[in-house]
Structure 1
Amino acid sequence: MTRVGLGYDIHRLVAGRKLILGGIEIPFEKGLLGHSDADVLLHAACDALLGAAGMGDIGEHFPDTDPQYKDACSIDLLNTTYRLVRQRGLSLVNLDATVFAQAPKLSPFKTQMAMRMADCLGVDHSRINIKATTTEGLGNIGQGAGIAAMCVVLLDNP
């Protein structure tokens, strides 16, 4: 059985926080605001995996009202999510994601993010593709107020 899942996340940029995307720290004067480390890319990936497996969404599994997830490392959330997906007898065929950010420029970090995610999921790096784009100055993201990510995954029975 082949299944497709789609995930999306967005967080506000604020001073005084580290910017974590794809499980790596990106040098920038602002970071994403959230209950966990607010890694929008990994949150979108978790939602895509959970959606494809028919297992709800990230908020059901890691609620922001639960103190145990305060400042949680999203790479750990991705690892736990994929373990749940594997318990359903499904495995990742591929993951394709886009990060929407006016700044910082993310092109120099795409390969490192993809490798970090692939290592976390225990899959070949060729199964993970990360893209980055701006919104050409339009909307809240274009004005530098936040960063968003969208992810699609394909799962199959091994």
Structure 2
Amino acid sequence: MTFRIGHGYDSHRLEAGTGVTLGGVFIECAYRLIAHSDGDALIHALCDALLGAVGGGDIGHLFPDTDPQFAGADSRKLLAEVMQRVRAQGFCVVNADLTLIAQAPRVAEHISAMRAVLAELLDASIAQVNVKATTNEGMDAIGQKQGLAAHAVVLLQQAS
């Protein structure tokens, strides 16, 4: 059996707004993400992890922020495209582990919904997808609620 590991990272600035989308779930809050697409940093990090695992470059190369067709793009659609590429190379997801680093918004009550959305997009069970969140304890730009960041790690297996 062939296994592949990928790691992804993404970050976006925050500004005053009415909500953010993270992990494919809209969260009402006093902020919005500044981004070319919907700014879903969890999905963007996940896309980079998947692309990294199959040697497929990165999300910025595949969906450049200079291309108007991706303005306001739903990151769930970007992830679906990335998964088509993963499957085309003969791989499936063993597990995905994502970490959100954000002072705001608070996401604990949304993690179950995020896991369900991501599991469906990854053709995986909820047990194969983990999402966790932490803060920066008030330190740096993230701690001052000026932005947020996400890391993702995936393990892929050659489909039999």
Q: In structure 2, what residue type is equivalent to 1:26? A: I
Partner of 2:100: 99
Structure 1: which 4+ aligned runs deviate by more than 6 Å?
Answer: none
Deviation, 1:121, is: 1.9
| 3-state SS in 1 of match to 2:103 | coil
- 2:109 is aligned to 108
Preserved CA contact (<8 Å) 2:93 2:123:
no
Structure 2: unaligned runs, 5 residues or longer: none
Pairwise CA RMSD of aligned residues?
0.9
Q: 1:126: which partner in 2?
A: 127
The farther-off stretch of 139-148 and 15-24 is 15-24
Q: Equivalences for 1:2-151 in 2 at 5 Å?
A: 2-16=3-17, 18-151=19-152
Per-residue deviation, 1:16? 3.3
Please give the alpha-carbon distance, in whole angstroms, between the structure 1 residues aligned to 2:111 and 2:131.
Answer: 6
Aligned pairs, number: 158
CA contact (8 A) 1:113 1:130 kept: yes
Tell whether the 8 Å contact from 1:17 to 1:33 is kept in structure 2 after alignment.
Answer: no
TM superposition score normalised by structure 1: 0.97
| Higher mean displacement: 44-53 or 120-129 | 120-129
Against the structure 1 CA distance between its residues 17 and 53, is the aligned structure 2 distance closer, same or farther, given a 3 Å change threshold? farther
Following TM superposition, by how much is the alpha carbon of 1:65 offset from its aligned partner in structure 2, in angstroms?
A: 0.6
Identity %: 48
The 8 Å contact of residues 17 and 32 in structure 1, kept in 2 or not, is answered as no
* CA distance in structure 2 between the partners assigned to 1:130 and 1:6 by the alignment: 14
The TM-score, its normalising length taken from structure 2, stands at: 0.96
